[in-house]
């Protein structure tokens, strides 16, 4: 690990190429995990690409938090708390069962900022996924925090409600540990805050298991697709506050022409994930 910003900047431009094939069982498992209809279609749901070509690391090489080690593709940022903060995605065509997908990932930027409780590092990674009938271009934003910045005491301040008020809303029961475990398995994500409750509470200071940001994004893009009748061609999302496995929450949408604002919200009014979909 290094706190030399100039040294970390040497990772900018680093690329990684990976490949994966979409099989019918992956699509079935993804649909079952998110309670999507098991329809007779070869078309993959949007954001299934989060499950493709994950980093495959020996268990013995994982960090105490369950993450793969840094310093290969991702820079060796000197802060231990790593979270997927958000992203922007554009879709041309649909991924389908049988597709061979090639993904080119590139570190685009690394920035350090001083927050009110300490340093933050922001790493921006781009992904280009190419398949015979689809192109997905994605920007992924990763934030690194110090140990003192994790947990409810640092992240539970209610965020402002998006405007205008929702035109559609769905009440949801708590996500629960089973869904978190299944989604972690689908994405080969060993980050312990999503399935190891004692670790999440005792080591990282959260009040409960943390719901994955990408899982909330998947819920919101599926809600947008259900409401509009077709999947959006552009989708962006950002986390504003943690959602925990014991939280009841709502899915919300506000339609403005061909754009839809979406968000997950706790019963106390805290917005956890905000997104924008467009067609």
pLDDT band at residue 156 using 50, 70 and 90 as cut-offs: very low
- The model's pLDDT over 223-272, given as tens digits with 9 standing for 90+, comes to 999 999 999 999 999 999 999 999 999 999 999 888 999 999 999 999 99
pLDDT over threshold 90, residue 33: yes
Coil, strand or helix: which one is 121? strand
Alpha helices by DSSP H, listed for 87-191, are 152-155, 176-187
Task: Quote the domain boundaries for residue 260.
Answer: 5-278
pLDDT band at residue 40 using 50, 70 and 90 as cut-offs: confident
pLDDT band at residue 151 using 50, 70 and 90 as cut-offs: low
Q: How many CB atoms lie within 10 A of CB 228?
A: 15
- Find the CATH number of the domain harbouring 40: 3.10.129.10
Q: For the chain, give me the number of helices (H) and strands (E)? A: 6, 10
Read off the tokens for 152: 């409810």
pTM, two decimals, is 0.92
- The model's pLDDT over 70-113, given as tens digits with 9 standing for 90+, comes to 888 999 999 988 999 999 999 999 999 999 999 999 999 999 99
Instruction: Name beta bridge partners: 276.
Output: 236, 261
Report how many domains make up the chain.
1
pLDDT over threshold 70, residue 155: no
Between the alpha carbon of residue 158 and those of residues 25, 95, 242, 270, the distances in Å are: 39, 37, 10, 4
State residue 114 phi and psi, 5-degree precision. -95, 115
pLDDT band at residue 28 using 50, 70 and 90 as cut-offs: very high
């Amino acid at each position: 690990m290094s706190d030399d910003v100039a040294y970390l900047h040497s990772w900018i431009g680093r690329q990684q190429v990976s490949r994966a094939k979409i099989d019918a069982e992956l699509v079935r498992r993804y649909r079952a995990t998110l309670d999507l209809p098991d329809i007779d279609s070869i078309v993959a749901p949007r954001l299934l690409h989060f499950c493709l070509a994950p980093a495959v690391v020996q268990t013995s090489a994982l960090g105490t938090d369950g993450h793969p080690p840094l310093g290969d593709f991702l820079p060796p940022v000197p802060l231990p708390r790593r979270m997927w903060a958000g992203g922007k995605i554009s879709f041309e065509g649909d991924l389908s069962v049988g597709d061979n997908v090639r993904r080119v990932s590139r570190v685009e930027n690394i920035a350090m900022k001083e927050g009110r409780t300490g340093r933050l590092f922001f790493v921006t990674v781009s992904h280009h996924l190419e398949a015979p009938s689809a192109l997905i271009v994605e920007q992924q934003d990763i934030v690194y925090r110090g140990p003192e910045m994790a947990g409810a005491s640092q992240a539970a301040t209610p965020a402002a409600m998006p405007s205008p008020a929702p035109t559609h809303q769905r009440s949801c029961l708590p996500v629960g540990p089973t869904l978190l475990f299944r989604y972690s398995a689908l994405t080969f994500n060993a980050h312990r805050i999503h399935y190891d409750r004692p670790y999440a509470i005792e080591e990282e200071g959260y009040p409960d298991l943390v719901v994955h940001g990408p899982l909330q994004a998947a819920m919101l893009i599926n809600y947008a697709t259900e409401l509009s009748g077709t999947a959006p061609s552009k989708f962006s999302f950002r986390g504003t506050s943690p959602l925990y496995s014991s939280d009841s929450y709502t899915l919300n949408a506000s339609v403005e022409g061909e754009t839809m604002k979406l968000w997950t919200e706790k019963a106390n009014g805290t917005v956890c994930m905000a997104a924008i979909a467009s067609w």
